[in-house]
Amino acid sequence: MSDIELPESITHLVDELQVVQLVWQGIPLQLPKFAVYCILKSPVFDRYIYRSGRRIGIVRLGRYEVPVIDPFRGNIDQPPENLVIISHSKDNRFGLYGYPADHVADDVHIPIHHRSVKRIVKDFV
């Protein structure tokens, strides 16, 4: 496997990493596009819950209730302009969560050997 930690089955297939860049409260975050389930414009929260002292919005997507969490550990006080839904899995378990975004760019490409690729994908592979 190369030094970028992509699964061996796909490493030889890609020359660049597709990235979704979101901006929340003026701070950009980059997520690998393969981890993004969907991007919603003008989401509506079904309800709010509190976990560990943080206010979290809940969006219903079909049979899923998706928690919307602030990536900087703040509270979610109102629905954001955009919502990036991220999929994650561990063993045979699947889940979704969302990050709020003021702005989303889903057409960013980074060369596969760029030094930031490892950091961007490390939580998703």
Query: Which are the contacts of 116, defined by CB distance < 8 A and separation ≥ 6?
Result: 30, 110
Q: How many CA atoms lie less than 13 Å away from 103 in the CB half-sphere? A: 7
Residue 6 has pLDDT above 80, yes or no: no
Position 105 scores a pLDDT of 96
Residue 3 has pLDDT above 60, yes or no: no
Residue 113 has pLDDT above 90, yes or no: no
Mean pLDDT of the chain: 89
Residue 2 has pLDDT above 60, yes or no: no
Position 91 scores a pLDDT of 83
